[in-house]
Structure 1
Amino acid sequence: MGHTWGVREESLEAALPVGEDPQRYARLLARVHDAAVAGEALPARPRAVIGASWGRMRSRGIDPERGRAPRQLPADELAERRRQSPLAEVLPLLRSRLGGVAEQTANIMVITDADGHVLWRDGSAAVRRNADSLGFVEGMSWGEDVVGTNAIGTALVTGLPMQVYSAEHYVRTHHAWTCASAPLHDPRTGRLLGAVDLSGPASTVSPTTLALVQTVAQLAEAQLRTSHLTSLEGLRGSAVPLLSRVSGRAVVTDPHGWVAASTGLGPVDHVALPARCDAGRAWLPALGDCAVEPVPGGWLVRLLDDDPGATLTERTRVRLDLRESQPRVEVDAAAGGWSHPLSPRHAELLFLLTAHPAGCTAARLAAEVFGDERRTVTVRAEMSRLRRTLGGLLSRRPYRFSDSVEVEVLRPDDPAALLPHSTAPSVRG
């Protein structure tokens, strides 16, 4: 698109250059936008990042008057995305650093997931009401392919902090707004998690807003990094005794492959695990042929290259012990065993999974535990907590025990003593 536009005047280098009159600049942007949409010669060249985004919008057929009609996430899906998002951990920090600023400056603070769906929204009540009229509400997508060029969607596409002012927005109904957004990444994997944004009336525009949002995004990523290191340190406490029972070279990693402890190897920080890691034999880059076993909070990886003829004949065995008042899961693997106490709810869920080896959807588990298949959010939350500890012992979609484990249920002699506090229809029968 940029190669076909004629330009009569200067290029525009910032959302709002320092010292520039916002109203005069907004009028210039409006003329540039009108000419771009009409395919006419431009009175000035838009910023490169804006011009590139406008080009994407034109190629995708985005309506510059209304954008595309978005689909609002159902309440249960929104709740699930919030629960699954690592950004929930840094929500208090984002609110403490930007929530007050949003109130004082007649803005709203918005946090989205990597798809651009609004997960949380705080700030000025008056601005929230104005945002409602645009569909700028929790559960709606603010991605470029829905609402055109905007700070959130364009930051998610480019991976760069973005400020978008007035008619830099591709859709005209957003020209009365100014937005500053910064993407947020998972420090463990580099994966894009979403974005944090300050948005408000165009009259509240300030060149310093983007720097503030970017700084707070960096603080949030630093908190996630610290949390990751803390969890690794906790894993290290259980990893060292495990490794003391292993002969040969081995490492214990978290679910993402970050190494908590190792034996027989030089310093190694990270192991590239398969995208869908499971217990058994696997060839791993830099390590070669390995045996992978689940341990509390991660994986034990034993190198087999020293013995090319080695075979894995011993499967991981899981015993669900429901005989005592404190249910437990006990795990026996080639490298040793471990156990973990279970809450009554987690014991219920694991017991039901043993009755359905092929697996259960969240809706089916909800029906069997609560008698109400609509309570999927609660089921997914509990299964997520279980998977943090049991890791590779459990699979999802559908929820089930992994194919690589053998499961045994130890029941009390008296059938009435089986999960005595459970009210689950499938348990009480």
Structure 2
Amino acid sequence: MARPLIDASWRRVAAAGVDPGGGPAPAVLPDAEVARRVGAGPLAPMIPVLRERLEPVARACGQLVVVTGVDGRVLWQGGAPEVRRRADGLGFVTGAAWDEPAVGTNAIGTCLVLGTPVGVHGGEHYVDGHQQWTCAAAPLRDPVGGGLLGVVDLFGPARTAHPGALALVSAVAALAEHEVRAAHDRTLEQLRRVAGPLLARLDGRALVLAPDGTTAAATGFAGPARVVLPADLDGGRPVLPGLGPCRVEPVPGGWLVRVDDEDAAGVATHAVLDLSGDRPRLRVTAGSGSWTDVLGLRHAEILLAVAGAPGGRTAAELAEDLFADPSRTVTVRAEVSRLRRAVGPLLATRPYRLAEGVTVDVLPPVGPLLPGSVAPVVQRARAALPAHGGAGGADGRAIMQPRGRTGAPGERDRGAL
């Protein structure tokens, strides 16, 4: 009898239309794009640690160590050359997609879905051609924000399976996260030495942020632990999530942010969940400015579910929307907590819902909606989309029906988008 996590995975990939006999794989990313993601992506500081600690083990055991991004794309491989040549025949190459919708049940794809360490051995793989292999994968998380960044995996012929593989890969993943966190803390401590004299001269609410938005120091209020900063921030007077209108100027190693309390009434009230590009984005507009945040897949799924439910969602209902499993409330609460740190006052709780007066439009793609997702809420939204889009937006693209929170928090609405 299959383990419950394997049975659930097989159901997901069957619903996604994966062919057990193997089908055409998605196009492999160009080498230049892989190099860009490795060099400038969030996993860049972790890969050297993973290489140092796991590649010698992989070589000695006749396996590969593989690092993928949060979308399941293979970014780096190392280990036994003969195993790498065999893996090439599976299409398991740098730049390939190895998530569940692309290649069925495997440790990487299933780990990305569950967010926990996963081992998949032999016949537990969904695709017939993968059943001569074994793999053990662990999630790689942002040690500061907690978001999922990717996966590290040990992969090899089934005969090389070892009962300690999953524990090993999990321990090394934790070590990589710890070393990145330690380096971040050293940088933050240097910034605090700069921040102290600056903040001592200021009245009102102000804070000094690291380039990733982590708060180094604050005055006038406790300040959030982290602020989502626009990718193109260059100072000026942006509207920042959780803070509202601000005056921002660069300081050595970060940003000085002064909150414009007199303009606090200009709180963001309208958002567009833009699913039309290569990555989901949330664009929020207020009378005094706007900001944009690039979302991970899970956070896009959460916003899609909440935007379609004016009465809100309980943790159990949201777990059903995301995982088809209402018992996974702990995972839901953790993911929503991370999302609320990014989007600030847009989301309310008990139940999870759009805050009073907030409206959200959903801008779908021309092709499949969130193609990497197997969440039930996304599958329902795909089925509800007209063949050629809905009402046109200002730029001529389809806008799904906007939703605002207009009812009382206790009201329920399970209608599809």
1:89 maps to which residue? 45
How many angstroms apart in 1 are the aligned matches of 2:170 and 2:226?
A: 31
Match of 2:12 in 1: 56
Deviations 1:32-59 (A, max 9, x none): xxxxxxxxxxxx3x11111111111111
Aligned to 1:292: 248
Quick one: distance in 1 between partners of 2:228 and 2:239? 9
Is this contact kept in 2: 1:249–1:302, CA < 8 A? yes
Whether contact under 8 Å (2:248, 2:255) holds in the other structure is yes
1:78 and 2:40 matched: no
Which structure has the greater CA radius of gyration? 1
Q: 1:288 to 1:141 in 2, by over 3 A?
A: closer
- Cα gap change, 1:168/1:292 in structure 2, threshold over 3 Å: closer, same or farther? same
Following superposition, the deviation at residue 118 of structure 1 comes to 1.0
- Maintained 8 Å contact 2:207/2:217: yes
Please list, as runs of the form range in 1=range in 2, the aligned pairs for 1:366-405 lying within 5 A after superposition.
Answer: none
Which of 136, 150, 158 aligns to 2:106? It is: 150
Which stretch of the first structure deviates more once superposed, 273-282 or 48-57? 273-282
- For 2:57 and 2:152, locate their aligned partners in 1 and report how far apart those are by CA, in whole Å: 13
Secondary structure of the structure 2 residue equivalent to 1:213: helix
Measured after TM superposition, the shift of residue 280 of structure 1 is 4.1
Alignment partner, residue 41 of structure 1: none
Q: What's the offset of the Cα at 1:289?
A: 5.0
- Give the letter for the 1:303 counterpart: V
Per the alignment, do residues 67 and 181 of structure 1 end up closer, same or farther by CA in structure 2, a change over 3 Å counting?
Answer: farther
Instruction: Tell me the SS of whatever aligns to 2:187.
Output: helix
- Specify the alignment match of 1:253 in structure 2: 209
| Contact 1:67–1:148, Cα closer than 8 Å, also in 2 | no
Counterpart of 1:263 in structure 2 is 219
CA distance in 2, matches of 1:277, 1:70: 31
Corresponding residue for 1:272? 227
* Alpha-carbon offset, residue 150 of structure 1: 0.4
Whether contact under 8 Å (1:108, 1:127) holds in the other structure is yes
Residue type matched to 1:270 in 2?
A
How big is the alpha-carbon RMSD for the aligned residues of Structure 1 and Structure 2? Answer: 2.4
The question of 1:212 aligning with 2:212 is answered no
Within 5 Å, which residues of 2 pair with 1:122-161? 122-161=78-117
- Tell me which residue corresponds to 1:304: 260
Aligned identity (percent) is 51
Confirm whether residue 202 of structure 1 aligns to residue 158 of structure 2.
yes
Give a deviation string over 1:339-375, Cα, whole Å, max 9, x none: xxxxxxxxxxxxxxxxxxxxxxxxxxxxxxxxxxxxx
Q: Which amino acid aligns with 2:259?
A: L
Q: Scaled by the length of structure 1, what TM-score is found?
A: 0.57
Match of 1:427 in 2: none
SS at match of 1:153: helix
| 2:177 paired with 1:221 | yes
Offset at residue 259 of structure 1 (A): 1.3
CA-to-partner distance for each residue in 1:96-126, whole Å, 9 max, x for gaps? 2211110111111111111111111111111
Equivalent residue, structure 2, for 1:24: none
Distance 1:120 1:58 in 2: 28
Work out the CA distance in 1 between the residues paired with 2:116 and 2:58. 21
TM-score by length of 2: 0.59
Q: Give 5+ residue unaligned stretches, structure 1.
A: 1-43, 312-429
Alignment length (residue pairs): 265
